[in-house]
Amino acid sequence: MKTSRALLILDSDREFLKNFEASLREFYTSFAATTEEEAQKILESEHIDAMFFNKDSGDAESGIDALKRLKALAPELPVIVLTDNPTVETAVEAIKVGAYHYGAKSLHVGELRAFVEKAVQEAMLKRDYERIRDELSRLSGKIVGRSAEIKRILEQIRRVAMTDVTVLVMGESGTGKELVAQEIHTLSKRAQKPFVAVNCASLVRGLVESELFGHQRGSFTGAMQNKLGKFELAEDGTIFLDEIADLDLQSQVKLLRVLQEKVVDRVGGSMPIPIDVRVIAATNRNLSEMTTKGEFREDLYYRLNIFPITLPPLRQHKDDIPLLVQYYLERYGPELGKPNLSVSQSGMEFMMQYDWPGNVRELQNTIQRAILFCSSQKIEASDLPKEITEGKVTTAENIPLPLIEKQAKESAARLAILNALEQTGWNVKKSAQILSIPEKTLYDKCSNLGIKLKKVNKI
Ligand SMILES: Nc1ncnc2c1ncn2[C@@H]1O[C@H](COP(=O)(O)OP(=O)(O)OP(=O)(O)O)[C@@H](O)[C@H]1O
Ligand SMILES: [Mg+2]
């Protein structure tokens, strides 16, 4: 019986493709590609459930590289690698870059089907798991802050969440624009419906309209099936149009129509489709300035700017820093094996003085790093990146120079060791070689610096 599943098969051998397609025609719709570029186009325009990939098209190295690039395009897609001559080395290589299974090209139909079904089931489970995890982190990842600036933002969120009004979230990178969009959705009556985030900057040129509004089968070369656009996927829920300034002018006209008429026109479709979707857009650029320069449509800007929320950069609400630091210590400390951490007074001083060009995201990364690097129960100034501590004088504590030097040395050693371990997949022997020290010394140093060595499976 034919299922609705669609397969993509990439192989330079046209004869093989023909036979493959024919043998599975009864069960699946197959899209054939003879080159990586063709496969890429299909992945961009079709919904594919699993991919078969022949590693032997081209030389071994380039085969694996091509697979890496295709996986980057569709990270959740299960891939089954086929080859004429399977070896352990290439199997390991393929599985490392995310292939689901590895087998000989001579597999028969029953085996192929079993692979497809199992791979698709597992991908579905994984997606469910990730959705639940995202949902949880969304609920627990609330907006932290007690400053007047953050209170004003929370009040705006509360007021607008009840309505269906279009919201434009503005602010520098890392100020929490996406977090605010999620919070509005969570507090709205649409909370149980989808929240669909679209990054307008990463939409593939030429496919923007099909991505947003969907397309009708046969409307352009490569459109072999009907495809729902993000707006239709967000039906009854919220669509988050991130980096809206990057939307090309032609798509801006189409978006304006959606906002005005509350209908979408699928590419190649004959009838407009009514939709009920709440729109939240975000940008870190100055849209008003862009409209004066003709880079962004003025009419669309006014439609989006009905309820603007402008997030302050962290340097304008520094009084929230201690609370944010505490929040990230509690959130990441236990999971990195270090509960009950605190920050030394001088460490906190430096963080209060610093201007945080990367805003809350930079603070979050700094704390994660400091948790990894610190060797005691306290995060010291020396555990912080040098851009935060360099060239500034702290008056809070009288720290003797020898102690500062010792800590700086330890911190540098820890960084070098962790880098080497990461680079080698936590292989002690290879790391010791990189660091030009005997293996035994590396074990000792790790133990002194509190670096727990992970167990590695030797392949
Ligand atoms: N007030 C806050 N409380 C807690 N976490 C925050 C706060 N503001 C931002 N964050 C966290 O900082 C990180 C960056 O936030 P987010 O991705 O929403 O920023 P953004 O404004 O969309 O940045 P960009 O323009 O770079 O995409 C996220 O992990 C987010 O959870
Ligand atoms: Mg963002």
| Ligand 1 site-directed mutation target among 168, 243, 316, 361, most atoms within 8 Å of CB | 361
Are residue 363 and residue 439 in the same domain, yes or no? no
CATH code of residue 62: 3.40.50.2300
- Asked if the structure places residue 169 within a domain, the reply is yes
Are residue 320 and residue 293 in the same domain, yes or no? no
So what's the pLDDT on residue 394? 43
Cα separation, 49 vs 123, in Å, equals 9
Are residue 246 and residue 155 in the same domain, yes or no? yes
- Asked if the structure places residue 1 within a domain, the reply is no
The per-type count for the chain, helices as H runs and strands as E runs, is 19, 14
Are residue 155 and residue 268 in the same domain, yes or no? yes
Query: Counting ligands in written order, which one lies closest to the CA of residue 197?
Result: 2
Q: What is the DSSP string of 167-203?
A: EEEE-STTSSHHHHHHHHHHHSTTTTS-EEEEEGGGS
Q: Token digits for 308?
A: 């603007």
- Asked if the structure places residue 331 within a domain, the reply is yes
Amino acid occupying residue 135: E
So what's the pLDDT on residue 430? 92
Are residue 153 and residue 82 in the same domain, yes or no? no
- Ranges of residues in the chain whose predicted pLDDT is under 70: 1-2, 56-62, 86, 128-141, 391-400, 402-404, 407, 454-459
Are residue 302 and residue 169 in the same domain, yes or no? yes
Residue with tokens 């669309």: 300
Residue 436: DSSP 8-state: T
So what's the pLDDT on residue 350? 92
| Ligand 1 site-directed mutation target among 154, 175, 311, most atoms within 8 Å of CB | 175
- Asked if the structure places residue 135 within a domain, the reply is no
Please identify, among 383, 399, 415, the residue that sits at the C-terminal boundary of a domain.
Answer: 399
Residue nearest to atom 10 of ligand 1 (CA): 176
Are 196 and 238 spatial neighbours (Cβ–Cβ below 8 Å)?
A: yes
Q: Token digits for 35?
A: 């080159």
Cα separation, 276 vs 333, in Å, equals 42
Query: Counting ligands in written order, which one lies closest to the CA of residue 175?
Result: 1
- Asked if the structure places residue 290 within a domain, the reply is yes
Residue with tokens 């590895």: 102
Are residue 184 and residue 69 in the same domain, yes or no? no
Angle between helical axes of 401-423 and 439-449 (0-180°, round to 10): 120
- Asked if the structure places residue 140 within a domain, the reply is no
pTM to 2 decimal places: 0.60
Please identify, among 272, 296, 312, the residue that sits at the C-terminal boundary of a domain.
Answer: 312
Host domain of residue 457: 402-459
Number of structural domains in the chain = 4
Write out residues with Cβ below 6 Å of ligand 1. 141, 143-145, 171, 173-179, 284, 360-361, 364
Three-class DSSP category at 207: coil
Cα separation, 441 vs 278, in Å, equals 59
Please identify, among 379, 399, 419, the residue that sits at the C-terminal boundary of a domain.
Answer: 399
Cα separation, 350 vs 354, in Å, equals 6
CATH code of residue 421: 1.10.10.60
Cα-to-chain-centroid distance, residue 78: 18
pLDDT in tens, 178-230: 999 999 999 999 999 999 999 999 888 788 999 999 988 877 777 778 888 99
Cα separation, 325 vs 313, in Å, equals 16
Query: Counting ligands in written order, which one lies closest to the CA of residue 241?
Result: 2
**Strands, E assignment, 223-277:** 238-242, 263-264, 273-274
H helices present in 103-161, as ranges: 109-140, 148-161
So what's the pLDDT on residue 135? 53
Q: Token digits for 229?
A: 């656009």
Residue nearest to atom 24 of ligand 1 (CA): 173
- Asked if the structure places residue 99 within a domain, the reply is yes
CB atoms within 5 A of ion ligand 2 belong to: 178
Cα separation, 14 vs 27, in Å, equals 20
Are 153 and 177 spatial neighbours (Cβ–Cβ below 8 Å)?
A: no
- Residue 178 CA, ligand 2 centroid: distance in Å: 5
Three-class DSSP category at 313: coil
Q: Cα angle at 232 between 229 and 233, to 5 degrees? A: 85
Residue nearest to atom 9 of ligand 1 (CA): 176
Cα separation, 271 vs 156, in Å, equals 37
Residue burial 363-386, b: 16+ Cβ < 10 Å; e: rest: bbebbbbbbbbbbeeebbbbbbbe
So what's the pLDDT on residue 131? 63
Residues ≥6 apart with Cβ < 8 Å to 249: 297
Are residue 361 and residue 233 in the same domain, yes or no? no
CATH code of residue 362: 1.10.8.60
Cα separation, 326 vs 42, in Å, equals 47
CATH code of residue 179: 3.40.50.300
Are residue 308 and residue 216 in the same domain, yes or no? yes
So what's the pLDDT on residue 367? 95
Cα separation, 48 vs 32, in Å, equals 12
- Residue 243 CA, ligand 2 centroid: distance in Å: 8
- The atom of ligand 1 lying closest to the CA of 177 is 21
Are residue 240 and residue 341 in the same domain, yes or no? no
Are residue 320 and residue 303 in the same domain, yes or no? no
Q: Token digits for 267?
A: 């590419």
Long-range pairs for 93-96: beta carbons < 8 A, 24 or more residues apart: 93/64, 94/55, 94/64, 94/67
β partners of residue 273: 264
Are residue 177 and residue 296 in the same domain, yes or no? yes
So what's the pLDDT on residue 448? 79
Q: Which of 403, 415, 433 is nearest to 374 (CA)?
A: 415
Query: Counting ligands in written order, which one lies closest to the CA of residue 362?
Result: 1
So what's the pLDDT on residue 57? 60
Residue 284's alpha-carbon distances to 166, 246, 366, 373, 414, in angstroms, are: 17, 11, 22, 32, 36
So what's the pLDDT on residue 141? 47
- Asked if the structure places residue 35 within a domain, the reply is yes
So what's the pLDDT on residue 169? 98
Residue 240: DSSP 8-state: E
